[in-house]
Amino acid sequence: MTMTILLRSSLTVLLLAVTAVWSGCSAEDTTQMKKTDRESALRTAKAEDTSMKTIGEIVAADYRTSKVFAKYGIDFCCGGKVPLSVACREKGIDPASIGREIEAVRSEPIGRSQDYASWGLSFLSDYILNTHHAYLKENTGQIAAYAHKIAEVHGARHPEVIRIAVIYDTIATDMASHLRQEEEVLFPAIKRIDATRKAGKTPETKDLNAIKTCLASLQQDHTKIGEALQTIRNLAKGYAMPDDVCNTYVITYNMLKEFEGDLHKHVHMENNILFPKAAWVSEVSG
Ligand SMILES: [Fe+2]
Ligand SMILES: [Fe+2]
């Protein structure tokens, strides 16, 4: 398809050049028109190529593209295995137009601090632990306490907050055991394998097996927790603030929104970057 577009573009460039000569344009004008047309054809080709990739692959290659997906309400973490063309069809969005927005974001200069896909396994594991796991440990209990407080005070007028508090408790419980499995089993195994390979040695079988057995169940946890958070968002009507509520209500909704944003990034880094890298390394080392 890309080839067809480039051939079509070349023909267009030729026609433009002939037209320019006949209409008396200068050689400089013609060169500029050719350049502009070629750039436009390349942009279209890249956008079409992007539409064949999954959302997870696109965001894993450049996290800055997540803001385009967030803008259109496209799930890039738990539901990131869907090709862009399919996600666009489901949302009624023109894939070429979103492809151009993605290319515009990608064309901005990127620093290594944002280029997560280029990070090594140990660095990625430590980063996730020190940012996202630390955030969860610091905030999960506080959000649960606030959720129960607003359920008590506002539950009669806003019954949805009672359900939100119950669902959030389940998330907190599931999250605690999920983090334990990552911190006590998966991440240490990943880091030992990474260090062993860097030393030119063969990783231990128990570490390779730990990766093989952990990844599927951890991804199932991500999906379950992601769905529960989506239910909370729906109950909270996208975190729209009612008029008759107190400050704690406002703080709780803001914290839930922040929790959801942090979790999307956290799950994206694991599902789309760390886990595929770890799976690949354990496959080639086994
Ligand atoms: Fe994690
Ligand atoms: Fe996780």
Distance 281 CA to ligand 1 centre (A): 19
CB–CB of 187/269 below 8 Å? Answer: no
The string of DSSP codes covering 31-87 is HHHHHHHHHHHHHHHHHHHHHTSBHHHHHHH-GGGHHHHHHTT---STTTTSBHHHH
pLDDT at 2: 41
User: Is the whole model's pTM more than 0.85, yes or no?
Assistant: no
CB–CB of 258/105 below 8 Å? Answer: no
Q: Tell me: the pLDDT tens digits for 61-95?
A: 887 888 888 888 888 766 677 888 888 988 888 88
Distance 285 CA to ligand 2 centre (A): 23
Distance 206 CA to ligand 1 centre (A): 21
Q: Of the ranges 72-86, 110-124, 171-185, which is most confident?
A: 171-185
Distance 158 CA to ligand 2 centre (A): 32
Residue 247, pLDDT above cutoff 60: yes
Distance 232 CA to ligand 2 centre (A): 19
Distance 136 CA to ligand 1 centre (A): 9
Distance 115 CA to ligand 2 centre (A): 20
Report the pLDDT averaged over residues 208-221.
94
| Average pLDDT in the chain | 83
Q: In one letter, which amino acid is 256? A: L
Report which bound ligand comes closest to the CA of 124.
Answer: 1
